[in-house]
Structure 1
Amino acid sequence: MAVTSPDVFKLGFVGAGNMAESIARGVVKSGVLPAQAIRTSHHREDRRAVFKSFGVEILESSGQVVSDSDIVILSVKPQVAKKVLLELKPLFSDDKVLVSIAAGIKLTDLQEWSGQRRIIRVMPNTPSAVGVAASVMCMGDMATKKDEERVVSLFGAIGKIWMADEKYFDAVTGLSGSGPAYIYIAIEAMADGGVAAGLPRDLALSLASQTVLGAAAMVSNTGKHPGQLKDAVTSPAGTTIAGIHELEKGGFRGTLISAVTAAAKRCRELSN
């Protein structure tokens, strides 16, 4: 059973989409905050109902959310972030913290549009929905140690979080932000390979997804380099090296590297 943290503060979401929902659910489930300490608003009844279903308070407007929150998470689409923050600017104050998860929006822009000085930028990814997000954060100049601790507790509730300089955020977006899509394609392709080799579709997909999950856990939990783990599976003249040979002929490594760098480049273009 979750036990609520003694450091209870009011958390508001401006934007009540899937990522906001994942964060809010994780925060409540882990006991970082009680549901009644969280608030949001949305014009659609179905989105309001989702948050109500696990106890989040629904307010009438984003302005009310900002006014009634200690930490405000900006979880709107990047293309509307400027408009939203300019509208909410009169409601921000020095006793509040603005946390942005909008991809590509820099700290300087967030400060200019909101007038807020205590700002933290976080880049989570979609596995937050199942509690295994990879999130990276960077601190604005005026954010405090207490702000950092609270934000780490929030995003630690949905996975793992690392600190990095803002200059790395475009690359973070290209790797962990967009990365789940690359892995979904790999799982789908592996399952198709299983079907081509004679497996039933449901078994092939289950084996492919569990294999990726297990391989990721091996890297994360053992601390060994993935090349070392790969070599341990690769027997001389065996099945695995035959498969790896095909991957190398197809440019598998180079294609993944290009995917990450292309996504990072696109993020850089959008942020500029």
Structure 2
Amino acid sequence: MNYSYIIIDDDQESVLKTKAMADSFSELDFIASANNYQDGLSLILEHTPQLVFLEIDPTDKKSNLSLALINELYRYLKIVPKIIITTKKSELAFEAIQYEVTDYLLKPLERITFVKLILKLNKSNQESENQSVQPIVIANESPKTVQHQEISYREKPLILCIKSYGDYRYIDANDIAYLQADNNSTDIHLSNGEMITAFKTLKHFESVLTYPFIRIHNSYIVNRTYISRIHSGNTVCYIKNTTTKLPFSKSYKANIDLIISEFSNENYLEI
């Protein structure tokens, strides 16, 4: 899943460093930056980003950057962006926690902190979706008469419906090992070896499928659950219980790093 973000920091060099770090992750989409309280507030209200990287101990006190910005957001927004504090002072963390910020990152920023942040965001989204999951209809025929009534399910797996000329094919998302682009269609490969074609682009599936589905190549989205091996030297990952090897590209290397990091954070023993 992708997350749009804004950086609010009075130090322009710090803004550039934060953006450079975030740009190495395909999940993070930059919108804009601001150097003071008022401009930052205006940007958030105008663009409603999902994330805000906020400095709360500015070098220039005239910028008025502080945790007070969060209170101001609640005056105008029904859904407040997730706030990630970026600062040099660890002693401000306790106060920031009182404002229920999403994360507190100490400068100079390190890559691993961004890896952990994205994992945390993905996990939070997955837990939210597990509480209320809706079926997704992938219509292979013209949508001219297709109507979809939203029905909320609690604690049920995501079901994809591949619909084509009156034929409704239901797929449990947990059974999908990976998806492969084929021009303007997508081949859905199931864990049992079966393959189903849907007449939607891989980009479409990237937008509707969230974790554990991760884009690793222009032609592939993989279900992280079915990865049994990752070979960085050969830039391939292996699909569990098969001989299938999927390539991953340099542009999606950050996503592979996320997968490796997540494995190491679980019940894990490295030998």
More strand by proportion, 1 or 2? 2
TM-score (norm 2): 0.34
TM-score (norm 1): 0.34
Q: Which has the higher contact order (CA 8 A, sep 6+)?
A: 1
